[in-house]
Structure 1
Amino acid sequence: MDLGLLAQLGTTGALVLVQAAATDVWQLARAGFTRLLGRGDREREAVAERRLDALAAEVEQALPAQRDEVRRRLLPAWQTRLGDLMEEDPAAADALQVLRDELLARLPAPQQQWVQNITASAPRATAQGAMFGNIINHPNPATDPGDRADGDGSLR
């Protein structure tokens, strides 16, 4: 499997894992990810269990209205862990995919939806938006010289 697909699988696996915390499917997720991360080594399994328990405890201790934010904050660490696992052991991809799909089928439907509408309707207008992330713009002088002010201060 190509590295891009493995990274994507690690990301979607992490998303499902953090979504499962503090739900009825947590024990299934915990057991599956313990096996996956432990790879048959008892010491690795113990480390995975501690990390998984810490994840669940942090989500469970948050007020229900704050749990999605806690999950978003915890997600990058799990993306990294699962991404590293996919890089170190590409054979684990099949097991992660099966576990991810099984958990997805059992997780409750999302209770929240986020909608963002952005409109730009003027000549040379630009509209941008981000949800739960950043937008970083780097001007390219070769293709976008930008607006230049005339001597009277008006833009041309």
Structure 2
Amino acid sequence: MRWLGFGLKGWGSMPLLEALLALAALAGNTVVTAAVTDAWGAAKSGFARLLGRGDPEKVEAAERRLDETREQLAGATGADLERARAALEARWTTRLADLLEDDPGVEGDMRALVEQIQAQVSAADHSLAAGRDMNITGGVKMADRGGVVADNVQGSISTGNPPQPGQANV
């Protein structure tokens, strides 16, 4: 890929290239994650529209590729599923990075679509997903001194007000 934005600023102090690649990777992960959830209809139509950029033939081609992704994931289990997920995520990340390179103006639409789909995707196994705030009470594994035991947290966690200044309980 040839990026012309080297030295420009993206998210905060992150260079534009890194910011766009991070967005493409997040979007690629979102496609693959949504493919096996109830959010697939919205994800498929949204990403097909984004990739098609108003051209009905491109939209149709994107829909076919998206359907192939879902079929490949539906037909895989165990280690094969993990390999398929990784390969498909890399493929979608590349496609979406190419789209951002060809048309940097889609960045805002891509970001909004990713946020919309992520809010609809339910977490797997014993996890929880929230599009906004989540209050967890009872049965939560609390670490020593009020921390939270969690795996793969995206976003922030608040366990209430911090303790008042003073002598620590040791």
Both structures adopt the same fold (TM-score exceeding 0.5): yes
Q: Distance between the aligned counterparts of 1:29 and 1:20, measured in 2? A: 7
Q: Distance between the aligned counterparts of 1:64 and 1:28, measured in 2? A: 27
User: Which residue does 2:70 correspond to in 1?
Assistant: 56
Q: Distance between the aligned counterparts of 1:66 and 1:111, measured in 2? A: 19
User: What whole-Å deviation, never above 9, does each CA across 1:81-125 have from its counterpart, x for those lacking one?
Assistant: 000001111110111101101111111114389xxxxxxxxxxxx
Matched, 1:85 2:99: yes
Matched, 1:8 2:19: no
Q: CA, structure 1 residues 30+64, in 2 after alignment: closer, same or farther (shift >3 Å)? A: farther
Unaligned runs of 5+ in 2: 1-9, 11-15, 128-170
User: Which residue does 2:119 correspond to in 1?
Assistant: 105
- Please say which of residues 33-42 and 64-73 is displaced more in the overlay: 64-73
TM-score by length of 1: 0.67
Matched to 1:3, the amino acid is L
SS in 1 for 2:65: helix
Higher RCO (C-alpha 8 Å, min separation 6): 1
TM-score by length of 2: 0.61
Instruction: Decide whether the 8 Å contact of 1:14 with 1:75 is kept in 2.
Output: yes
Matched to 1:25, the amino acid is A
Which of these residues, 50, 54, 58, is aligned with residue 40 of structure 1?
Answer: 54
SS in 1 for 2:123: coil
Q: Distance between the aligned counterparts of 2:80 and 2:125, measured in 1? A: 13
SS in 1 for 2:67: helix
Matched, 1:67 2:81: yes
- Please say which of residues 56-65 and 88-97 is displaced more in the overlay: 56-65
**Could you tell me the percent identity over the aligned residues?**
37
Matched to 2:28, the amino acid is A
When the two structures are aligned, how many residues end up with a matched partner?
Answer: 113
SS in 2 for 1:108: coil
